[in-house]
Amino acid sequence: MRMYDVIAKKKHNEELSTEEINYFVNGFTKGEIPDYQVSALLMAIYFNKMNERETVDLTMAMVNSGDKLDLSKIEGIKVDKHSTGGVGDTTTLVLGPMVAALGIPVAKMSGRGLGHTGGTIDKLESFKGFSMDIAEEDFIKNVNEIKIALAAQTGDLAPADKKIYALRDVTATVDNLSLIASSIMSKKIASGADAIVLDVKVGKGAFMKTPEDVKDLANAMVSIGKSIGRETRAVISDMDQPLGLAIGNSLEVVEAIETLKGNGPKDLMELCLALGSNMVLLAKKASSLEEAREMLMESITSGKALEKFKDLISAQGGDASYIDDTSKFEKAKYIVPVVSEKSGYVKRINAENIGIVAMELGAGRATKESVIDLAVGIVLNKKRGDYVEAGEALAYIHSNHEEKIEKAKNDIIKNYELVSEYKDDIPLIFDVIK
Ligand code: URA
Ligand code: CA
């Protein structure tokens, strides 16, 4: 087989065979096929697309390019959740303990974030002593004993995806449906999930900006899961404004704790219940979504989900007393209100731009080498549909650098759109694809 012929075939809009897909994925992973030929093929795929069969083959070729996590020693059905980005997304920290409190194994691999705020690992490092560098043995033991463990990505899961993604990033070929769907699903499948719930965001702060595009992406991922026997569902939700109120690492951890105590923002709680009830259903612990939802709500009112969060933090070396006393988390030196000069209803908060402001304050990584400041970020005081009086705070800036505050204030004000009349008609959950 010659790479030249594979490229030419896709250039002529023909379907690639399973062998051809395996050939280029394996050859590229081993370094036998050069970047420039794979770049050319990616651009041909970008323009001529892949069908469902090709997309499944690409996914499996990437899964088979490296290690696969063996979770067979964990009892029960392992349901994983994946969120497709977003701003101020704290769902993992809330959902993990809620679902584990019902006896469902949560064996989650997470990464460090490159974006507006850190990933789950970064956030949990707000707890003194907490570590996600745990051995595979301890990971499995913890899930069997307390039903939950979170680990930094170990081993060499889907290395082909890592290489191909890096190339897509610099060749303007990221935003292709088959390439995104196979990239996300290959990592989930390699990390051993029996069933997968996808939290797919749509809107300004998301990867896909329109409901049509996002529905196609969700359908593509669900059909990949199904075709290889891993039941998959996708919950499509709004990311036109940030989720919850907190954007920043420790700030989001505190928000997650408040939510587990039953005092969280309504939208964050609602999305966690929607995702969680689908997870409980796929884990076969409930016979209907309604029953699953009741069970999850009970995990909050009984305090069991909060206890489970403490179990997780303690089991991985963290100081769980922070959960009872959240004043122990490190705080930013300056906490200043962003005051509105006008009155009106909040019509829109540009999630993407607000995320960038948080990153500039130090909450996220602009490059892989950036060091995150866990204490800084933004806490919103007003969300879509809220009325703001002139002189009231739209949000609070948490900064460790006085000189960053003025620009952050102006940027936040610019990204709040106020109107004199407003009727809320954007739902939080658009659709569930199954
Ligand atoms: N996230 C991924 O992991 N892969 C993509 O291609 C896009 C988003
Ligand atoms: Ca949040």
What pLDDT, in 10s, does the model give residues 223-235?
999 999 999 999 9
Q: What is the pTM of this model?
A: 0.93
pLDDT of residue 114: 66
- Cα–Cα distance between 99 and 107 in angstroms, integer? 11
User: Which strand ranges, in their side-by-side order, compose the sheet holding 387-388?
Assistant: 387-388, 344-349, 416-419
Determine the atom of ligand 1 nearest the C-alpha atom of 183. 4
Domains of the chain and any CATH numbers: 3-48 (1.20.970.10), 79-324 (3.40.1030.10), 330-419 (3.90.1170.30)
pLDDT-derived band at 153 (thresholds 50, 70, 90) equals confident
The pLDDT of 315-326, averaged and rounded, is: 97
What pLDDT, in 10s, does the model give residues 230-254?
999 999 998 889 999 999 999 999 9
In the reported structure, the alpha carbon of residue 55 is separated from the centroid of ligand 1 by a whole-number distance in angstroms of: 14
Question: What mean pLDDT is reported for the chain?
Answer: 94
Does residue 58 register a pLDDT over 90?
yes
Ligand that comes closest to the CA of residue 173: 1
State the pairing for strand pair 393-399/377-380: antiparallel
The pLDDT of 87-109, averaged and rounded, is: 92
Amino acid at 303: G
For the annotated catalytic residues, the residue numbers are: 82, 161, 168, 183, 187
- Cα–Cα distance between 203 and 210 in angstroms, integer? 6
Where does ligand 1 bind, in terms of residues with CB under 6 Å? 165, 174, 179-180, 183-184, 207
- Cα–Cα distance between 219 and 212 in angstroms, integer? 11
Residue reference for tokens 């990311």: 239
The CB-side HSE value for 313 (13 A sphere, CA atoms) comes to: 23
Contact 112, 118 (CB under 8 A): yes
pLDDT-derived band at 210 (thresholds 50, 70, 90) equals confident
Does residue 278 register a pLDDT over 90?
yes
More confident residue, 154 or 169: 169
Structural tokens at position 228:
């290889």
Closest by CA to 160, choosing from 46, 65, 54, 55, is 65
In the reported structure, the alpha carbon of residue 431 is separated from the centroid of ligand 2 by a whole-number distance in angstroms of: 21
pLDDT of residue 206: 66
pLDDT of residue 158: 93
Structural tokens at position 69:
């996590």
Structural tokens at position 261:
């105590």
Phi, psi of 21 (to 5 degrees): -70, -45
Q: Which residue lies with its CA nearest to atom 1 of ligand 1?
A: 184
State the pairing for strand pair 429-433/231-238: antiparallel
pLDDT of residue 223: 96
β-partners of residue 151 are 109
pLDDT of residue 30: 97
Q: Which residue lies with its CA nearest to atom 6 of ligand 1?
A: 180
pLDDT of residue 86: 73
Number of helices and strands in the chain (H, E): 17, 13
Q: Which residue lies with its CA nearest to atom 8 of ligand 1?
A: 180
Does residue 419 register a pLDDT over 80?
yes
Ligand that comes closest to the CA of residue 259: 2
State the pairing for strand pair 344-349/387-388: antiparallel
Q: What percent of the chain has pLDDT over 90?
A: 82
pLDDT of residue 136: 86
| Distance from the Cα of residue 336 to its chain's centroid | 28
